[in-house]
Structure 1
Amino acid sequence: MGEKMEKNAENTKSQSSLNFSSTAQLADGVNKEKGSVAYNPFEERNLEHPTSSFGALAHILKCSLGSGILAMPNAFKNAGLAFGLVGTVLVGIICTHCVHILVKSSHLVCFKAQRPSLTFAETAEMAFSTGPESFKKWAPFAKKFVNTALVATYYTALSVYVVFIAESFEQVIEYYVDDLHLDIRVYIVILLVPLSLLCLIRNLKYLVPFSMLANCFILVGFGITLYYMFSEMPSISDRDLVAPVHSWPLFFSTVIFAMEGIGAVMPVENSMKNPGFFLGCPGILNISMTTVVTLYAVIGFFGYMQYGEETKGSVTLNLPVEEVAAQVVKILVALAIMFTYPLQFYVGTEIVLSLVMHRIQKRYENLFENSYRIMIVILTVGFAVAVPKLGPIIGLVGAICFSILGLFCPAIIEIAACWDGGLGIGRWRLYKNIIIAILSGLALISGTYSSIEDIIKTYG
């Protein structure tokens, strides 16, 4: 199957070249002539171990199908069964479109800048620097803004992981120790030690065994969770089809948090020698996102059907703690998230260290890096202590970080990349992206307000 997909990728190479040639003509003088053939960034990629089309599909699925899927039933609780289905599909379409325009903008800017590939932040920078004269002064800021959004998104998501791990262990431990009734914050603080040790591992290859264990644990835990979720399903008439409007912002921010994996898209696309199959129909992106949206909608719908208004921030927390199988799920999924923590931690840390390490004296580099790593763990744990409830913290992170990174940034990048002749008839791309930017702002404001309101109700 891998060979077949590789052959398809090869067949699309000439077609993608033609597509790029027509796209590149949107800006004058951005083609670099090599004989009679326009500059094609795909042909300039020099990759020692390029990713196959099948491998790229697996990576995108793995990045998008994370712990967020376990929060989907709670999202449906804030939307209702009918509105939840419609809303999940709508958010899925918007998120997929934003990934599309980010990748397409990156391809166009690669032509203009004559670069084989660009990261997310570099795409933002080059979109402005290769645009109109009035845009160029914003190029350094655009790069810094995207890098800051990436770091903030990855690090705040870690706080969600911490709360999830703590709540899972708390349920099992306090079931077996009758007289133990500790505040959830105590469990969160205890996690400082194992998480700090894991995050002191610098080389990704040493994290591979943890990643493999995490995948196995998630698979087993997810399978048992489905068994509980589909057992003795109550009547659909017992659940709200449409939840009160005031809870919708929490639904949207939770779904955005669960579904958004845009930070991993450019690294995957850049690792492909022939990425012509990445976009298009069906294409890697469309196949993966259709799968993701379908699974998220199914899990959200039936999870809320099963547990109703008692649905917790993660559906695994609803499983009966007195049953051994449910205890196994809680522990395995908690360990899987714990082992995923250093991988998520790695991305943001690499961005920051690449920007500051050249300023540190050689003899202090190890001390600085270790101190920085431990400091970030302390900060993520501290944020989890401040907001120790899974539902609101997911909504808060989704509203603030993922709405900016996943919606706002791609929209602005496409405007800058296509400004000179690429906005379409009647400049429709400009108005479409303005609408996406407005939606991002609405998600940011309403989601943040609803999450903070929920936190105040619980702990105020």
Structure 2
Amino acid sequence: MEKETENRSILDASEGQTYQTYGEFSGSIQNMKDDVMDQRDGPKASPGTDIELDEEGLSSSLKTTNTECIMHLLKGMLGTGILAMPVAYKNGGLWVSLGVVLLIGVICTHCMQILVQAGIELTKRTGLTDLDYSDVMEQAFATNDRTRKWSKVARISVNVFLLITQFGFCCVYNVFIAENIQQVVEHAHDFSLNDKAYIAFVGLLVVPYVMIKSLKTLAPFSTVANLLNWFGIIVVIANLVQDLPDYKIRSPVGKLNTLPLFFGQAIYSFEGIGLVLPLHNKMRTPAAFPGMTGILTLGLTITICLYNVVGFYGYLKYGDDAKGSVTLNLPSDNWLYLSTKLMFAVALFISYGLMFYVPFNIIWPFLEKRYTARTKKELPKYAEYVCRFSLVCVICGMSALVPHLDLLISLIGAFASSFLALIFPPLIQLVTFQCSKMTWTLNITIILLGFFGFVVGTYSSLLEISKTF
């Protein structure tokens, strides 16, 4: 597995080991995300280079500044979720959505804060460093006498949901790219194809791209994707604030049957919790990250504001015509907006490779190790490419099965993000610390909220998806 020596196992100090005995499947997804960010930050020092190391053995020049950290945080938070906020507002209602997105944002920020606090405490308690989400979950359970026997299950649970979200993101990207290309092509030429044909076409384009194994090769493209994303968001906001109707014509409260969809779409947008611990671990001044006035709070405040700006003005402008991505509502008779649609499509196409890299490097070592253990033989070299191709086909099949961007986002948000963003962090705090009755009450409330959103949101999403067949 590429870059094994950089992604050492926290629980196994031997050189080059990335997966524990039980972790051949549950190897750290966060370390992979961390690895992606390392490539964005620049090249690493070559072996033998004379550099000054800090107490953790990492050159301070390789750690991120506060500005770099907040930029990485915003990159991780501002994806397809922000473009789906207008349709989320449509499902939730203008004023209810404004308040609930703010509330969910505050709760998610709180959950990210307690995850970081637990990571800091468990680092002190165990002496382990660079703990990621699954590591924190495992160590929280392992250092508590009552929950120690569940520590491995806890770790695997986190990684399974992280794996689901990563593949879910790939499905969303596939549909997003297909729908935006479809609009541009059908505007330029007087013909139309089935949605599934465009999804298949995107899948064909993706196949050679995901065959790239090296993150160093993908890193320069990631920089281009970030620039395209930021430019596109600026163009979208500029369009949304023009020619606005009276707010009174929009429904202040969504329908009862669409509110669960709103929850899934809103919580999907805050699915950046997987990057929080790697970002904290990579900072030159990690003490500046948590807290009410820290980098995390500042980044989430900016994120919540941007979500509400795009959602509020997007729904106010387009009303019930708001689509799964606000880019689909942009006029097709203007070269700037057509270019913006293509820019977002290109940006997400580039990001697809990075999103695919994370789950593949969890699944492939698992399959390889199992095959070797059973047959005492190594897999042929072409097997990895076959596996990559097969996974792309599975993703395309799932995308074609649910070619509705808003419903797909709602399902992923309700099913997986509810656990990662709302349920697991409070559970970690309760297991890690001696909590007061007030803290217990708050955390149990958040857990119940997340579980309720998981059940109702998943059911409503599946119900709406079934109606499309």
TM above 0.5, yes or no, is yes
Q: Which amino acid aligns with 1:413?
A: I
State how far apart, in whole Å, the 1-side matches of 2:73 and 2:232 are. Answer: 21
The amino acid across from 1:108 in the alignment is E
1:437 to 447, 457, 465: 447
Take 1:444 and 1:44, find their aligned partners in 2: how far apart are those partners?
A: 42
Match of residue 274, structure 1, among 282, 285, 297: 285
Structure 2 distance, partners of 1:82, 1:284, is 29
1:166 aligns with 2:178: yes
Aligned residue number for residue 256 of structure 1 = 267
Alignment-derived partner of residue 283 in structure 1: 294
- Contact 1:83–1:241 under 8 Å retained in 2: yes
2:393 is matched with: 378
CA distance in structure 1 between the aligned counterparts of 2:443 and 2:180, rounded to whole angstroms: 40
Residue deviations 1:146-174 (CA, integer Å, cap 9, x gap): 11111111111110111111111111112
Superposed CA deviations along residues 364-383 of structure 1, whole A, max 9, x for unmatched, are: 36433322222221111111
1:244 and 1:295 mapped to 2: Cα distance? Answer: 24
Aligned residue number for residue 23 of structure 1: none
CA RMSD of aligned residues (A): 1.7
Per the alignment, residue 3 of structure 1 pairs with: none
Provide the TM-score with structure 1 as the length reference: 0.85
Once the two structures are overlaid, the 10-residue window that deviates more, 230-239 or 46-55, is 46-55
1:363 and 1:203, CA in 2 relative to 1: closer, same or farther beyond 3 A? same
Distance in 1 separating the partners of 2:238 and 2:170: 28
Distance 1:354 1:284, change over 3 A: farther
The answer as to whether partners of 2:86 and 2:326 remain within 8 angstroms in 1 is yes
C-alpha displacement at 1:355, in angstroms? 4.4
Q: Cα 1:404–1:307, aligned 2, differ >3 Å: closer, same or farther?
A: same
- Contact 1:215–1:336 at 8 Å: present in 2 too? yes
Alignment partner of 1:232 out of 243, 249, 260: 243
Q: Write the letter of the residue equivalent to 2:353.
A: P
CA distance in 2, matches of 1:113, 1:360: 34
Does the residue aligned with 1:137 lie in a helix, a strand or coil?
Answer: helix
Structure 2: distance between partners of 1:46 and 1:99: 26
Cα 1:414–1:369 change in 2 (3 A) is farther
Alignment partners' CA distance in 1, 2:305 and 2:380: 46
Match of residue 304 from structure 1: 315
* DSSP 3-state at the match of 1:46: coil
How far apart are the structure 1 equivalents of 2:464 and 2:233?
28
User: Matched residue of 2:57: which SS?
Assistant: coil
The verdict on how the C-alpha distance between 1:314 and 1:183 changes in structure 2, with shifts beyond 3 A counting, is: same
Q: Match for 1:369: what amino acid?
A: E
**Aligned CA distance change for structure 1 residues 80 and 231 (closer, same or farther; 3 Å):** same
Match of 1:103 in 2: 116
Q: Post-superposition shift, 1:191? A: 1.4
CA distance in 2, matches of 1:379, 1:101: 36
For 2:67 and 2:298, the matched residues in 1 are separated by 11
Structure 1: unaligned runs, 5 residues or longer = 1-42
The aligned amino acid for 1:141 is V
**Deviation digits for residues 222-249 of structure 1 (CA, Å, limit 9, x no counterpart):** 2322232122111112111122232111
For residue 456 of structure 1, the aligned residue among 441, 453, 466 is 466
Q: Which amino acid aligns with 2:417?
A: F
Question: Which is richer in helix?
Answer: 1
Cα gap change, 1:117 to 1:215, in 2 (>3 Å): closer
Structure 2 counterparts to residues 176-255 of structure 1, below 5 A: 176-178=188-190, 180-255=191-266
Structure 1 residue aligned with 2:137, among 124, 131, 139? 124
Deviations, residues 179-199 of structure 1 (Å, cap 9, x unaligned):
x22110111011122212111
CA contact (8 A) 2:163 2:359 kept: yes
Q: Is residue 68 from structure 1 mapped to residue 81 from structure 2 by the alignment? A: yes
Q: Distance in 2 between matches of 1:102 and 1:83?
A: 28
Which segment drifts farther, 353-362 or 141-150? 353-362
Query: Which AA in structure 2 matches 1:232?
Result: D
Tell me the equivalent position of 2:407.
Answer: 392
1:430, distance to aligned residue in structure 2 (A): 2.7
CA distance in 2, matches of 1:372, 1:44: 40
Where does residue 423 of structure 2 map in the other structure? 408
Q: 2:147 aligns with which of 135, 138, 145?
A: 135
Give the count of matched residue pairs.
410
Change (3 A) 1:281 1:441: closer
- Offset of residue 62 of structure 1: 1.0
Residue pair 1:44, 1:116 contacting (<8 A) in 2 also:
no
- Could you tell me how far apart the structure 1 residues matched to 2:124 and 2:368 are? 31
Identity of aligned residues (%): 35
Task: Tell me the distance in 1 between the aligned counterparts of 2:187 and 2:165.
Answer: 34
1:49-91 per-position Cα deviation (integer Å, ceiling 9, x unaligned): 1222222111111101112111111111111211111011000
CA contact (8 A) 2:89 2:97 kept: yes
Unaligned regions of 5+ residues in structure 2, if any?
A: 1-53
TM superposition score normalised by structure 2: 0.84
